[in-house]
Amino acid sequence: MPAKTLMVQGTASSVGKSIMVTALCRILKQDGWRVTPFKAQNMSLNSFVTCDGGEIGRAQVVQAEAAGVEPTVEMNPILLKPEADNCSQVVVKGKPMGRVMATEYYSSREQLWSVVTESLDKLSVQYEVVLIEGAGSPAEVNLKDRDMVNMRVALHCQAPVLLVADIDRGGVFASLVGTLGLLEPEERALVKAFVINKFRGDLSLLEPGLKWLEDRTRIPVAGVIPYYHDIHVAEEDSISLERRRTMKRKSDYILDIAVIGLPHISNFDDFDPLEQEEGVRLRYVEPNDELGEPDLIIIPGTKSTMADLKYLKRIGHARAIIDQAHKGKPVIGICGGYQMLGRMILDPEHVESSETQAEGLGLLPVTTTFSPVKSTHQVRGCVIAGRGLLQEASRLSVSGYEIHMGTTNGANDAAPFRIDERSRRPCKDIDGCLSPCGNVLGTYIHGLFHNEGFRRSLLSELAGRKGVAFHASARVLSKEEQYDRLADLVRNSLDMESIYRMIGLE
């Protein structure tokens, strides 16, 4: 029998759709249902690699983890990775299909729609419930005729829709009523309930507005989700970085870590575990910010290495990073950040740029050459270097994933990691480069800081250089515990009986 469905749509981007689907995935799993997430089309630079090497949006991986199932490419059959304002790399069922302009992409929408429906149909026979996430708003009138992710999906499977709005940004009633008013009658009929997200304060003060909304629309409010600070679930959009401006007081941290803010930053959830350590201040250094004297500089991954390297040189951050490194300040580059740390970046086939080469920061003795083939793998291995930044990490196990174009050569005996398993197949490879002084580290391993032993050995080494001891947080909650906390919050905030009736479950 085909799976039951429920769709979560929003009045705008970043109102909480992904988090809502994550919470509902966990709740249904807790209640004994086989549940899977689905998002037809995702636009994000935060991606992940499935066990068979397919690339999908990070949000669907988080939702799959919450549901207790293995992520697959069917959960996010189309992924758009922006490379410029009007150009993206298109990833279809986990594999890159090339770079396209927006107008070119929309001209192939019917062919892509068949990919969407085939993926949804496949999940529908494997699971009891499919929780579907929309994108942006279903009421973008200039895009409705090209819709492949909101109401077209809901109509295809006749999914009841929860419409989510963010009260923290203001105008919540106008956004809900306005969105509803711009839908076609058959679309509006699928909206079964509203959810108001990120509420602060006394709920009794909101209740008159909720009654007005229900009287006006004849649609119930399924619940109000409180604003929270103490639940940490990986987020998909770089918009979430804008909320990370609250700095810890100097008395509250002993280590200051600076992540270089790049225009095309990707996989920024690499650094979430560092942010959760009580003794660490993690800050993102934007164009007008001073780099200062951090204890560690991190250059993150990027979708456009050459463009972002040119950007760093133009705003002066490249020179500041080099100067700090020459003073002995530790620097770590992840993926595109690793490529920037080398001597040269070559792009003879113009895979990423119209330029054929660019001079790197020169902090590692490596050269990167781009090629059209993308490397996407889950990896497992261990630390094989025992000096410099990795003084306390030698022989520790690490796991993560790779997503990159091209190869980086020249590390030779300076590789800090040995890869023993790639895409679940045994191998004998090396990864990354560690400078002769041991202070500059480059690697292709995303998720490196999610390895608790590695993370805390690195932080201990950094603290020791300042003559202080790093006392790790008593315990950073695991992902499973975070999903359970999120589920508890949402379960206690929603009328779950009505949600179950909407889905058609007992």
Enzyme catalytic residues: 335, 446
Do 499 and 506 contact (CB within 8 A), yes or no? no
Distance from the Cα of residue 201 to its chain's centroid: 29
Q: How many residues does the chain have?
A: 506
Q: Is 38 exposed, middle or buried (0-12, 13-18, 19+ CB in 10 A)?
A: buried
CA distance 179 to 137: 8
Structure tokens given for 26: 């966990």
Structure tokens given for 98: 């090339």
CA 472, 26, 191, 38 torsion: positive or negative? Answer: positive
Distances (CA, A) of 59 to 21, 41, 148, 336: 9, 12, 18, 21
Question: Coil, strand, or helix at residue 302?
Answer: strand
Give the CA dihedral 225, 38, 482, 68, nearest 10 degrees.
140
Do 298 and 292 contact (CB within 8 A), yes or no? no
Q: Is 143 exposed, middle or buried (0-12, 13-18, 19+ CB in 10 A)?
A: middle
Which residues, in sequence order, are CB contacts of 126 under 8 Å at separation 6+?
3, 34, 36
Q: H-helix or E-strand containing 116?
A: helix 109-126
CA distance 480 to 330: 32
Q: Are strands 296-299 and 331-334 parallel, antiparallel or unpaired?
A: parallel
Q: Is 385 exposed, middle or buried (0-12, 13-18, 19+ CB in 10 A)?
A: buried
Question: Coil, strand, or helix at residue 444?
Answer: coil
CA distance 269 to 238: 10
DSSP string covering 454-466, please? Answer: HHHHHHHHHHHHT
- DSSP E strand boundaries for 106-157: 129-133
CA 299, 300, 305, 307 torsion: positive or negative? Answer: negative
